[in-house]
A and B are shown apart, each in its own frame.
Chain A
């Protein structure tokens, strides 16, 4: 905003789109609140009354389901008119198909009962908000515009102006210029105050909707964990596909070629021993290559030294395979759990691969230490920098996988200034 000061905001307030949307929210809130309240209270009363018959339970479940419907409208209203963020509550899932399990699930759902509580708490507040907002708005503009129409009083109402109070034989009219000016000033004050009153009122509405109609804190955590679990499962599936691909393209193909060579050699053994011997020689070379490929693949799945000797030893072996000299410093008082070691190992291993492939560094270092309940890993190089955690799929994938285990990744990589990647993983012993 060009005039970033408070005065401008106060003057603009009554005309701002946001004020009008909030005003609209409060005005529509009353008839809707009346509808919700009437239907819900009547439904609950009849349902409770009929509980002794077989109609009561379905009716109550119906009222609860209706409450969820109202909740949807209210959340949409908050999102559209107040611009607030309200998540959808977790859907109600019955354990078994059929009408009765569905009814039971609705009746047992805490969220559904909160949805029924909402109309009851919202209605009085909606009446109050509606009234207050309307009074402020109408009185404000009416008084502010008084100088424009005070002539109408003598002309039509047979009195000199707006009447303030009337006593036996005495009445005070707003008819002097000073009184007219004071009235307009009061109107201006009310009009300028209206946006703030409306804001205060809708803040309460927002809290009501988010706390009663939004997802519960447990729901939120569950959905967060569900998405994390999805990421973990995806990662595991991708890893399996990669391993299958590596086997298919590497060792399997090599062994097939080997079988072919040996088959041919066997055919030739009698008629052409010399070329058979050459083929066996080639096959021998193939076997050695296949063995090396299998060893690399197995280490890629899980390095044995990590289980036997821990991170320090395993990282030394990763560092020795890096294209640049790497200094490794692991300072851990004790060994974390195998899964934490695995995550740390593959994180460092991937980061060092990046150093080998992209950094054009002369040296690099790996530091691993524990800070409170976190395990910290830092890989630093003196290369060309410019690594971006968002652009590269490698770093982004790594960040995603760490996120899935409640870890985090930070990249500091100014162009030309080397790269420092810090990862943290929750410590579990």
Chain B
């Protein structure tokens, strides 16, 4: 299968770690390692890298031993710095815009930050894992909502139509045009038109690649 990816899971709850493993292997993905804390995660990835077997994506919990605070985020930031080619998807019981900003600092390629509950939507979750593994972005709708709410460009955002805001949100989550079209049940052409309008209203130059588009949108919202 073309969409098969190699995954390392870091999650301290054995129950969830096994659940995630089952979910991923069931769809033919390859879970190469499962660890219970951030230190083991960094070590395992380094070992795999030394064997020239870097995973495509790491799925990590935010709260892990020993302090049960933000080890996952710190490990993710470090992994992204040390292994730029690898995707990092962070799962969390709560999503915080602050953590997202730390995670996205630098680049938005191959990174994801999702609420843990999203695993219930199996297909969407697996899509997100593959997207991040392929260098894409997966941001939780809640993070996007927080980013939109905190943005200092409120007057410009207010100029968007409700549909355009919807499209902007889905775009910021990291979805491709066709994924957005499927979600909103409209044609690809209609989405392209909306995207064009949005970029014009925000004063951004329309760029071609999906990744760069997400980057442009996020940079805009955070500035």
**Hey, which bits of chain A sit against chain B, CB under 8 A?**
245, 248-249, 252-254, 256-257, 259-264, 266-267
List B contacts of A261 (CB < 8 A): 19
- The answer to whether A248 and B16 have CB atoms under 8 Å apart is no
B51 CB–A CB distance under 8 Å: no
Closest residue of chain A to B15 (Cβ to Cβ) is A257
- The answer to whether B93 and A264 have CB atoms under 8 Å apart is no
Instruction: Tell me, in angstroms, the Cα distance from A402 to B157 when the chains sit together.
Output: 55
Number of interface residues of B (CB under 8 A): 19
- The answer to whether B93 and A262 have CB atoms under 8 Å apart is no
Could you tell me the distance in whole angstroms from the C-beta of A282 to the nearest C-beta in chain B?
10
Closest residue of chain B to A265 (Cβ to Cβ) is B122
Q: What secondary structure prevails in chain A residues at the interface with B? A: helix
- The answer to whether B122 and A266 have CB atoms under 8 Å apart is yes
- The answer to whether A263 and B13 have CB atoms under 8 Å apart is no
- The answer to whether B93 and A263 have CB atoms under 8 Å apart is no
Instruction: Tell me, in angstroms, the Cα distance from A388 to B100 when the chains sit together.
Output: 47
- The answer to whether B119 and A260 have CB atoms under 8 Å apart is yes
List A contacts of B20 (CB < 8 A): 260
- The answer to whether B122 and A256 have CB atoms under 8 Å apart is no
Instruction: Tell me, in angstroms, the Cα distance from A267 to B15 when the chains sit together.
Output: 20
Chain B CB within 10 Å — which of A253, A257, A262, A263 has the most? A257
Instruction: Tell me, in angstroms, the Cα distance from A267 to B22 when the chains sit together.
Output: 14
Interface residues of B in 18-55 (CB under 8 A from A): 19-20, 22-23, 26
Contact among B63, B93, B122, B123 for A260, CB-based, below 8 A: B122
List B contacts of A252 (CB < 8 A): 93, 116
- The answer to whether B16 and A256 have CB atoms under 8 Å apart is yes
List A contacts of B222 (CB < 8 A): none
List A contacts of B15 (CB < 8 A): 253-254, 257
Closest residue of chain A to B115 (Cβ to Cβ) is A256
- The answer to whether A248 and B93 have CB atoms under 8 Å apart is yes
Nearest first, the 7 A-B pairs at minimum CB distance are A259-B120, A263-B122, A253-B13, A257-B19, A263-B120, A260-B19, A260-B119
Instruction: Tell me, in angstroms, the Cα distance from A418 to B16 when the chains sit together.
Output: 43
- The answer to whether B117 and A264 have CB atoms under 8 Å apart is no
Could you tell me the distance in whole angstroms from the C-beta of A61 to the nearest C-beta in chain B?
47
Known contacts A254-B15, A256-B16: A267-B63 contact under CB 8 Å = no
List B contacts of A263 (CB < 8 A): 23, 119-122, 125
Chain B CB within 10 Å — which of A252, A256, A261 has the most? A256
Closest residue of chain B to A255 (Cβ to Cβ) is B117
List B contacts of A264 (CB < 8 A): 22-23, 26, 122
Contact among B68, B117, B119, B122 for A245, CB-based, below 8 A: B68
Could you tell me the distance in whole angstroms from the C-beta of A255 to the nearest C-beta in chain B?
8
Instruction: Tell me, in angstroms, the Cα distance from A256 to B19 when the chains sit together.
Output: 9
Closest residue of chain B to A275 (Cβ to Cβ) is B26
Instruction: Tell me, in angstroms, the Cα distance from A254 to B13 when the chains sit together.
Output: 9
Could you tell me the distance in whole angstroms from the C-beta of A294 to the nearest C-beta in chain B?
15
6 A-B pairs whose Cβ atoms sit less than 8 Å apart in the complex: A248-B93, A259-B117, A259-B120, A260-B19, A263-B121, A264-B22
Instruction: Tell me, in angstroms, the Cα distance from A249 to B68 when the chains sit together.
Output: 10
Known contacts A249-B13, A264-B22: A256-B116 contact under CB 8 Å = yes
Closest residue of chain A to B116 (Cβ to Cβ) is A256
A-contact bits for B204-219, CB 8 A (1 contact / 0 none): 0000000000000000
List A contacts of B16 (CB < 8 A): 253, 256-257, 260
Instruction: Tell me, in angstroms, the Cα distance from A124 to B159 when the chains sit together.
Output: 83
Could you tell me the distance in whole angstroms from the C-beta of A251 to the nearest C-beta in chain B?
11
- The answer to whether A267 and B123 have CB atoms under 8 Å apart is yes
Could you tell me the distance in whole angstroms from the C-beta of B96 to the nearest C-beta in chain A?
15
- The answer to whether A248 and B119 have CB atoms under 8 Å apart is no
- The answer to whether A256 and B117 have CB atoms under 8 Å apart is yes
Could you tell me the distance in whole angstroms from the C-beta of A245 to the nearest C-beta in chain B?
7
Could you tell me the distance in whole angstroms from the C-beta of A398 to the nearest C-beta in chain B?
24
Interface residues of B in 107-132 (CB under 8 A from A): 116-117, 119-123, 125
List A contacts of B13 (CB < 8 A): 249, 253, 257
Instruction: Tell me, in angstroms, the Cα distance from A249 to B121 when the chains sit together.
Output: 21
Instruction: Tell me, in angstroms, the Cα distance from A248 to B91 when the chains sit together.
Output: 13
List A contacts of B123 (CB < 8 A): 267
List B contacts of A245 (CB < 8 A): 68
Known contacts A254-B15, A257-B15: A262-B120 contact under CB 8 Å = yes
Closest residue of chain B to A247 (Cβ to Cβ) is B93
Could you tell me the distance in whole angstroms from the C-beta of B19 to the nearest C-beta in chain A?
4
Known contacts A253-B15, A257-B15: A248-B120 contact under CB 8 Å = no
